Amino acid sequence: MRRFNFRLESLLRIRLHRERVREIELARATGACVLLEARLRELREERMEVQSCSFQGIPYPVPVLLVRNAYGLRLDGEIAAAEKELEKKLQEREEINREYLAASRDRKVLDKLKERRARESREDRLREEGKALDEIAMGLAVRSRSGERG
C-alpha cells in the first residue's frame, strides 16, 4: 500500500517556521517590556528615596537638599521617558502578538487539513484492503465449490 503524502507539506513547514519566528519576536518584545518595567520600578524607588529631607532623623543641609532636588527632577525626566518607551514597546508587543496569533491560526488550519486527509487516506486504504480480502475469500469459496463438484 502507498504511504500518505500531504501535498501541502512544504506550505505547512513554511507556516510553522513563520509561527516560530513570530513566537521568538514576541518573546523578545515581552522581555524588553519586562526590563523596562523593572527599570521603571528602580527609578521610582530611587525617586522616593531622593524625596526624603533627612537621614536617620538628621535633616540634610540646604545645599544637599538643592542637589537632591535637582537629581529628583532628572529622575522625573527619566521616569517620563521610560514610561513613554514602555508604552511604545507595549504597543509593538501587542502588534507582534496579533501577528503571532494569525501565524498560529494559519498553521493550525493546515494541521487540521493534514489530519483530515490522513484520516481519509487511512479509511480509503482500509476499504481497499477489505475489498482485496473479500475478493480473495470469494476466490477461495469458488475454488472450494468447484473442487466439491469435480
User: pLDDT of 93-123, one tens digit each?
Assistant: 999 999 999 999 999 999 999 999 999 999 9
pLDDT-based confidence at residue 1 (cuts at 50, 70, 90): low
pLDDT in tens, 4-51: 788 889 999 999 999 999 999 999 999 999 999 999 999 999 998 888
DSSP for 10-30, please give it.
HHHHHHHHHHHHHHHHHHHHH
pLDDT for position 110 = 94
Triad 8, 9, 13: Cα angle to 5°: 120
Cell 525626566 appears where? 77
Please tell me the distance from the alpha carbon of residue 125 to that of residue 131, in angstroms, as a whole number: 10
**Separation of alpha carbons 41 and 35, rounded Å:** 10
Please tell me the predicted confidence (pLDDT) of residue 146: 76
Give me the domains of the chain, ranges plus CATH numbers: 9-114 (1.10.287)
pLDDT at residue 46 in the model: 92
Residues 85 and 33: their CA atoms lie apart, in Å, by 9
pLDDT of residue 119: 93
User: What nine digits make up the cell of 141?
Assistant: 469459496
Would you say residue 85 has pLDDT above 90? yes
pLDDT attached to residue 139: 83
d(CA 123, CA 129): 10
Predicted TM-score (pTM) of the model is 0.72
pLDDT in tens, 51-69: 877 666 677 788 888 888 8
Residue 6 near residue 114, CB atoms below 8 Å: yes
